[in-house]
Amino acid sequence: DAGVIQSPRHEVTEMGQEVTLRCKPISGHNSLFWYRQTMMRGLELLIYFNNNVPIDDSGMPEDRFSAKMPNASFSTLKIQPSEPRDSAVYFCASSLVAGDYSPLHFGNGTRLTVT
């Protein structure tokens, strides 16, 4: 099992540029989550999907943020245009929920720096 795979591991971009973060969940998992982690705000849930459908995007900070899950094996988080305050580590996680609770499996994150 390769685990949750995120790319890129590091991203440095200039303010105003578009940034796309990618995630491949664990095969067979039916829920996918995007989190953002900063020293000031900790881990924030941005959006999560169930069976490829967005369930709750209330954590998405602004309209500059968008997320898609076109199929069960791929998701993207896009920031357009990026701003310095978007600098953070972005995590993707997946889980299998089938009538009971199950742990989240996290990727190793994408460290985003916007200058």
Partner 1 sequence: SQQGEEDPQALSIQEGENATMNCSYKTSINNLQWYRQNSGRGLVHLILIRSNEREKHSGRLRVTLDTSKKSSSLLITASRAADTASYFCATDAIIQGAQKLVFGQGTRLTINP
- Enumerate residues 48-87 that contact partner 1 by CB under 8 A: 48-51, 55-56
Among the listed residues 19, 1, 4, the one whose alpha carbon sits nearest the alpha carbon of residue 93: 4
Q: x/- binding map, residues 13-52, to partner 1, per CB under 8 A?
A: ------------------x-x-x------xx-x--xxxx-
Among the listed residues 16, 21, 114, the one whose alpha carbon sits nearest the alpha carbon of residue 74: 21
DSSP state of 99: S
Beta carbon of residue 49, minimum distance to partner 1 (angstroms, whole number): 7
Determine how many CB atoms are found less than 10 A away from the CB of residue 55: 12
Which residues, listed in sequence order, are joined to residue 13 by a DSSP beta bridge? 114
- Give the binding range for partner 1 (CB under 8 A) out of 18-26, 64-72, 75-83, 93-101: 93-101
Determine how many CB atoms are found less than 10 A away from the CB of residue 81: 14
* Positions in the binding site for partner 1 (CB under 8 A): 4, 31, 33, 35, 42-43, 45, 48-51, 55-56, 91, 93, 95, 97, 101-109
